[in-house]
Amino acid sequence: TDGIGYATARHLARLGMRVIIAGNNTGKAQEAVRQIQEETLNDKVEFLYCDLASLKSIRQFVQTFKKKKIPLHVLVNNAGVMMVPQRRTRDGFEEHFGLNYLGHFLLTNLLLDTMKESGSPGCCARVLTVSSATHYIAELDMEDLQGSRSYSPHGAYAQSKLALVLFTYHLQRLLAAQGSPVTANVVDPGVVNTDLYRHVFWGMRLIKKLFSWWFFKTPDEGAWTSVYAAVTPDLEGIGGRYLYNEKETKSLAVTYDLDLQRELWARSCQMTGITDVTPDTFSG
C-alpha cells in the first residue's frame, strides 16, 4: 500500500495487468486502489485483506482469492518490516522471520497450484521475492531462528532476507524438477527511500533525511527491478536468479548451499503446517 509495493502495483496496472493488492491496512489499501485506478485508468485493481503476520489470515486470503477463479501469472512477495523492536507475530514467531519470511513462504506454497494452472510452456507464471543487500552480511542460525538467545533488530532483519534467497533457490529447484510452468527469482531493489527506516537509530534517520536525494532510490526506482522481473521476455522460463538493477548478480555464497536450502525449507514446512514435497520430488 506504500513504498516499493505501491510503486510496483502502479507500474503493473499501467501496463494493463489485473492487480490485486494484499495488505493488512484496509484504509490505506482502499486509498491506494483509488489512486492507482485514477492515475492509470485501469479499473482492474482491487484489494484483498491479508495479514502476513498471521498464518490463519494468509490461509483465509488464499481461500478468498481462489473463489474468484482467476489466473495468477505473477506473485510479488514484497511486504516486510525492518529493524523493529523484539516482538512476536500472532503465531509466536519473531516478527522479522515470521512476517518477512514465513508469511511469504506459506503464501507462495498455498498459491502454487493456481500458478501452475495459470502458466504454460513459453509463458511461465512468475514468483518474485524481494530480498535485500542486507542478506550479504546475514547469518542463518538454524538452532535459534527466532533470536531467543540474543536479539538484534538488524541481525533479525538480515536473517529474514537471507532466508528469502535460500527459499527462492530451493523453490526454483522444486519447480524445475516437477516440470512446472512457474519460475522463481529474487529481486534486490537497492537502498530505497521508504518508511521502513522509521525504526532505525536516529543517526541513520538523520543521514537519510539529509542525503536521501543522493544515496537513496525513489520507490519508483526501487520498484523497477520487480517490474522488469515480472514482464521481461528475457527471463521467460528462467528462475533461480538474484536480480539487481535489472541484471543477474551473485548472492551470498552460502545461499547456494543445497543442504542448507533443504534444511530451511523442511523447517519452514513444519512451522507453517504444510507438507514438504522435497523428499518425493528428489527421491530419484
Query: Is 197 a catalytic site residue?
Result: no
267: its cell numbers:
523447517
| Helix intervals (H) in 54-133 | 55-67, 95, 104-118
Annotated catalytic residue, options 157, 169, 197, 242: 157
CB 49 within 8 A of CB 100: no
Residue 234 burial (C-beta neighbours within 10 Å; 0-12, 13-18, 19+): exposed
| Helix intervals (H) in the chain | 3-14, 26-40, 55-67, 95, 104-118, 153-178, 202-215, 219-231, 258-272, 278-281
DSSP string, 184-231: EEEEE--SB-SGGGGGS-HHHHHHHHHHHHHHPBPHHHHHHHHHHHHH
Cα angle for residues 22, 28, 32 (degrees, 5° grid) = 75
CB 238 within 8 A of CB 180: no
**Collapsed DSSP state (helix, strand, coil) of residue 271:** helix
**Collapsed DSSP state (helix, strand, coil) of residue 125:** strand
Catalytic residues: 157
